Structure 1
Amino acid sequence: MLPTLGYSVLFIIGAIVVKLVVSKIRFTKKYKLPNVVPGWPFIGNSLDVPYPAGMWGVDMAKKYGEMFTVNIGGRRLVYLNSSRVVTDLLEKRAAIYSSRPFRPMLSDIMSGGARIVFMGYTDRWRNQRKIMHSILNGKQAEAKFVPFQDLEAKQLVLDMYKEPENFHKASQRFSNSVILSVIFGRRAKKDDELLKFILGYTQTLGEYQFNPIKSPADVFTWLSNIPTSLQWWRPFGERFFRKHVAMFQKEYDALLDKMNKGTAKPCFAVDVLRGTAKKEFEIDDIEKIYTWTSLIEAGSDTSRVAVLQMMAGAACYPEWAKKARALLDEVCGADANRLPTLADRSNLPYITAVMKETLRWRPFLQSGVPHTLMRDDEYEGYKFPAGTEFSWNAYSIALNEKEYSNPLKFEPERFMNDDLHKTAKGHWSFGAGRRVCVGLNVGANNIWIAAACILYCFDIEQDLDYPIDQFNTLWEEPLKAPFKVKITPRSKAHIDLIEREGATAAAADY
């Protein structure tokens, strides 16, 4: 009997192998993918992609060309290594390149299927997107949100003056307080419970999103079909979801209380609640929470990291910072007459170029966020099957001499052109196609006002004992400064201005 059983097992294994070989032959005859990076049996390149993947992507693009394909646990992911192919596919063919990969852990369990950044190209996604766009980019959005940003910039320079060694914490407080003001109409408090929670869970989300070995169910999606009781990853995801909803429910309840008392500030969440009450929007309570928090996650991390990268750029390449300072002096006074405000944008186009170069120089999303192809497609001799994932190789594009002259250097002059005021033009930090960040105007203004005030008030220099690693820094690390830098007020007059304006900002409460 044992020999018979052994033959049966061998027969089954052989049948599986034959099926896999036949499937591969059929696939190869029907489809053609860009250069396929060799990987391991079964797991493909799952262990080969580091986190963060910026410089890995640069090296791979040099080796494999304008596009290459990796296998992440059976999922085919094509990296797009030039603006040309990103534009051709993710922009011009956005109608079929705008969905998202199936991520059962990250999207369904950890996010309750309600976090827009992980949703497929569905009616639910379109509804949330429409709500966000109508409020963040409406006629009154600029007037509504700019006062928050100008106020928090005053607090930012005060915090940096008082504790220059904690410049990363000042950036955190600035970006998070702006986004809390925009979304909930309140400032970040000292030792803010929600702020601490946000910093913790966004790091976790980043790891699960970009680290292939962190979540096996998101790599080998067939694992979601095994019995729930055997899904060893599920309890963590369910706890994460419950804690997230409970934490933001507190904000929801506090906002409702303010609205009932007539003390709520104009903000995104108030507009959502009032729009829902008037039947302008159709959205349930879980979606409301995730509509708010998706924007907080996007606005918080992008802004705080961009401020740090701008400072690193000023320290490493001081020539442009001196030029920016001279232009700021022309508008705001060389004797520290006043701080810059967002009302100065038309008179300070170079600071707008600084903002755009900050987003290009070292992209926050080092290897992009994958889009999923919704139906078979052909492009320049390649044939892609539906379900193929595509991601722009952000670092590779940003550091490519064919894309930018002298790409390693922080050089705002490259954006002093006819596209200066097209916020998302010339870089990919806000995404591509129909997935471009809906809050990009708020994010751009955050970077603009922070850069203007910091450059106007401080000299920023490298610490020669600790040179900044411009290529391998984990910029988004929330708990410690990603690099060392010397921050010095420009003069006694600037100190007086910082203290005067900072005191006004510190006293503001809402």
Structure 2
Amino acid sequence: MTTSRSELLSFRTQHPFLFYTSAFFLVVLLLFTALAEYFKPLGKRKGKDGKVPHLPPGPSGLPILGSLLDVKEGIEHQDHTKLKALSRYGEMTTLHLGSKTFVFLNSSRVATEIINKRGSTTNERSFYPVSSGIISHNHRRSLLMHQAAWAEPRRAMHSLLSGSHLKLYGTWQELESTQLLAEYLLQPKLWHRHHYRYANSVIHRIALGERMAKSSKELEDMQNCVTYFTSSIMTSAVDWFPDLERLLPWWFVQPWRLSWGWLDKWNYDVYKRWWDPVKKKVENGTAPPSFVRDVLLHPDTKYTGDDDDAMYAAMQLVEAGSDTTRMVLNVAFMAALEHPNAFRKAREEVDRVCGKDANARLPTLADFEDLKYICAMTKEVMRWRPILPITPDHTSTKDIDFEGYHFPAGTGFVLNIAALGEEARDPDSFVPERWLDGHETNIAHGLWLFGGGRRICVGYRLAQNSLFLLLSRLVQSFDLKPAGPYNSRRLHFHATSEPFPVDMTVRNKHYEKLILTEAERAGVLEDAKLERDKL
């Protein structure tokens, strides 16, 4: 021992730079090893009962980070190649993301077994300190809420699915879609802007009760609420290493919390500017029918949340219902450019049900059961180019044993939408006929984009009605052709400018007259002209 110590001291004296450099890297290595052990993903730890997880295969990933960078790249690239490739491991793929373990579900069979049939134990969300904590104003964003907090807003939102409410909302959807047709006619080159106005107006009236009259800046702020929230999930390290908040000293944590706190305040202020006028009208008895008036702030519903809870429930409905509908409509335009034959078949169906040329009338929601090809086409639009490549995780609250695997409590199960869409035969082709299976009028059947189990998106029927109206009326009245080169896999979902070049023309003079007549009868023609003049 003495000799070794003497040799070490001698080495330090003769080679001081090499000695201290080696010591530094040794300390770094030990620290790195300690961190890797401390943040070991759930799926690599023994359970409290000593039982070792047995998980499906998957990529090994990087030390500590795991597969975080690959998943981030897979989400950001619109062809979703990396997410689709996960199915090469099988129907389930295990990914370690920071200190979390997620199992990606790549087939409808296992998605049904895990998400739907075991929904009572896969109903939780994992904790995201930034996204579901700071930015969401203490877990008020229902998308990532823990189960206990999520139950009350979920109960309130179920009213959106009741028959009486859907009928009233359907009247509004028909009116707004009539204005959209007039906007297409008056200013076809700005079709993408009209989509955002339409989607916002529909959900604004359903949630808040009035037709939308917001400035471009207000609409931009609302869209940014979604953009900043979703981007925060993959950009905050603490969301993937939640123990960091407990591990780091307060003087390090506080500046970090403040760095995200500005976004919470900005988001909160945006919501308040939309919420306060509506709340005031409810209080003084002048508010029209709406989700806010008749559910969130109505004494008979006994909604137990406070004012901020109600505000977040309403405004998240506005957020989700506007941005997603806009993006799906853009996908429909791309499908029309790429696969015109399917749209010709859809037009034939509409003509058969609603008449043709001088005898034509606009399709309505009353035609829903008679326009099954349109229903099937709506589902195919959402499968063909999914606007969301994955869904938020469904975290298990108990250990799950399934087909030889042992998933410990806390495992996150993720619907790999990109891979699930590839289950179809010839998946890159646009084939609405694949959905003509007797369930075409149920948009959630066999289509996982709305999620599944108990946390399925409560507004899926509202979305279906909006898309049904728009697609049936679009194929009836307009022709779409490419106006320049484009890439069908580059949809630029978040772009405010034209995402791809489209030449849009009315079918003939009969449909031009039909649109103008119906828009004037509905009282929205002047609004469409005002939108044209503003733009």
Question: Structures share a fold, TM > 0.5?
Answer: yes
1:418: how far off?
1.7
1:298-340, Cα deviation, whole Å (9 max, x unpaired): 2112211111111211211111111111221223331153322
Query: In the superposition, relative to structure 1, how do residues 22 and 259 fare at CA in structure 2: closer, same or farther (>3 Å)?
Result: closer
Corresponding position: 1:101 with 2:120 = no
SS of the residue corresponding to residue 479 of structure 2 reads: strand
User: Taking structure 2 as the reference length, what is the TM-score of the superposition?
Assistant: 0.85
Query: In the superposition, relative to structure 1, how do residues 155 and 229 fare at CA in structure 2: closer, same or farther (>3 Å)?
Result: farther
Number of the residue aligned with 1:491:
508
Specify the code of the residue in structure 2 equivalent to 1:130.
R
Q: What are the within-5 Å matches in structure 2 for residues 448-463 of structure 1?
A: 448-463=468-483
Specify the code of the residue in structure 2 equivalent to 1:115.
R
1:38-79, Cα deviation, whole Å (9 max, x unpaired): 211121112222133652345422432221112211211111
SS of the residue corresponding to residue 115 of structure 1 reads: coil
Separation in 1, partners of 2:481, 2:335: 10
Separation in 2, partners of 1:11, 1:130: 51
Number of the residue aligned with 1:500:
517
Corresponding position: 1:155 with 2:176 = no
Number of the residue aligned with 2:531:
none
Separation in 2, partners of 1:451, 1:486: 17
Number of the residue aligned with 1:324:
346
Corresponding position: 1:66 with 2:106 = no
Query: In the superposition, relative to structure 1, how do residues 192 and 151 fare at CA in structure 2: closer, same or farther (>3 Å)?
Result: farther
Corresponding position: 1:181 with 2:205 = yes
Query: In the superposition, relative to structure 1, how do residues 17 and 217 fare at CA in structure 2: closer, same or farther (>3 Å)?
Result: closer
Specify the code of the residue in structure 2 equivalent to 1:390.
F
Specify the code of the residue in structure 1 equivalent to 2:66.
G
Separation in 1, partners of 2:478, 2:459: 29
Partners of 1:316 and 1:468 within 8 A in 2: no
SS of the residue corresponding to residue 459 of structure 1 reads: strand
Partners of 1:245 and 1:289 within 8 A in 2: no
Query: In the superposition, relative to structure 1, how do residues 253 and 217 fare at CA in structure 2: closer, same or farther (>3 Å)?
Result: same
Q: Which moved more, 1:78-87 or 1:292-301?
A: 292-301
Q: What are the within-5 Å matches in structure 2 for residues 114-153 of structure 1?
A: 114-122=140-148, 124-133=149-158, 135-153=159-177
SS of the residue corresponding to residue 291 of structure 1 reads: helix
Corresponding position: 1:479 with 2:479 = no
Specify the code of the residue in structure 2 equivalent to 1:466.
P
Specify the code of the residue in structure 1 equivalent to 2:427.
P
Corresponding position: 1:85 with 2:106 = no
SS of the residue corresponding to residue 454 of structure 2 reads: helix
1:129: how far off?
0.5
SS of the residue corresponding to residue 143 of structure 2 reads: helix
1:206: how far off?
2.1
1:382: how far off?
1.2
Among residues 26, 46, 69, which one is paired with 1:47 in the alignment?
A: 69
Query: In the superposition, relative to structure 1, how do residues 495 and 393 fare at CA in structure 2: closer, same or farther (>3 Å)?
Result: same
1:380-433, Cα deviation, whole Å (9 max, x unpaired): 111112211111111111123xxx233222211122222122231021011011
Separation in 1, partners of 2:326, 2:45: 49
SS of the residue corresponding to residue 70 of structure 2 reads: coil
User: Taking structure 1 as the reference length, what is the TM-score of the superposition?
Assistant: 0.89
Specify the code of the residue in structure 2 equivalent to 1:327.
E
Number of the residue aligned with 2:16:
none
Q: Which runs of 5+ in 2 are unaligned?
A: 13-19, 529-535
Partners of 2:125 and 2:393 within 8 A in 1: yes
Separation in 2, partners of 1:183, 1:253: 13
Number of the residue aligned with 2:192:
168
1:354-399, Cα deviation, whole Å (9 max, x unpaired): 2222222222211222111112211111111221111111111112
Corresponding position: 1:281 with 2:319 = no
1:132: how far off?
0.6
Query: In the superposition, relative to structure 1, how do residues 382 and 499 fare at CA in structure 2: closer, same or farther (>3 Å)?
Result: same
Number of the residue aligned with 1:244:
267
1:454-506, Cα deviation, whole Å (9 max, x unpaired): 1111111234x413323xx2452141233222211111222222333344314
Q: Which runs of 5+ in 1 are unaligned?
A: none
Query: In the superposition, relative to structure 1, how do residues 12 and 247 fare at CA in structure 2: closer, same or farther (>3 Å)?
Result: closer
* Structure of greater Rg: 2
Among residues 256, 261, 273, which one is paired with 2:279 in the alignment?
A: 256
Corresponding position: 1:235 with 2:258 = yes
- Aligned-residue Cα RMSD (Å) equals 3.0
1:88: how far off?
0.8
Query: In the superposition, relative to structure 1, how do residues 227 and 272 fare at CA in structure 2: closer, same or farther (>3 Å)?
Result: farther
1:11: how far off?
12
Separation in 2, partners of 1:319, 1:78: 38
Partners of 1:208 and 1:215 within 8 A in 2: yes
Number of the residue aligned with 2:448:
428
Specify the code of the residue in structure 2 equivalent to 1:414.
R
1:228: how far off?
5.0
Query: In the superposition, relative to structure 1, how do residues 166 and 20 fare at CA in structure 2: closer, same or farther (>3 Å)?
Result: same
Partners of 1:104 and 1:221 within 8 A in 2: yes
Among residues 361, 364, 384, which one is paired with 1:361 in the alignment?
A: 384
Among residues 261, 270, 273, which one is paired with 2:293 in the alignment?
A: 270
Corresponding position: 1:315 with 2:315 = no
SS of the residue corresponding to residue 95 of structure 2 reads: strand
Among residues 398, 404, 407, which one is paired with 1:375 in the alignment?
A: 398
Query: In the superposition, relative to structure 1, how do residues 279 and 91 fare at CA in structure 2: closer, same or farther (>3 Å)?
Result: closer
Query: In the superposition, relative to structure 1, how do residues 106 and 58 fare at CA in structure 2: closer, same or farther (>3 Å)?
Result: closer
How many residues are paired up?
497
SS of the residue corresponding to residue 322 of structure 1 reads: helix
Specify the code of the residue in structure 1 equivalent to 2:117.
K
SS of the residue corresponding to residue 399 of structure 1 reads: helix
Number of the residue aligned with 2:411:
388
Partners of 2:70 and 2:82 within 8 A in 1: no
Q: Which moved more, 1:363-372 or 1:245-254?
A: 245-254
Specify the code of the residue in structure 1 equivalent to 2:356.
A
Query: In the superposition, relative to structure 1, how do residues 432 and 17 fare at CA in structure 2: closer, same or farther (>3 Å)?
Result: closer
Partners of 1:462 and 1:468 within 8 A in 2: no
Separation in 2, partners of 1:260, 1:10: 61
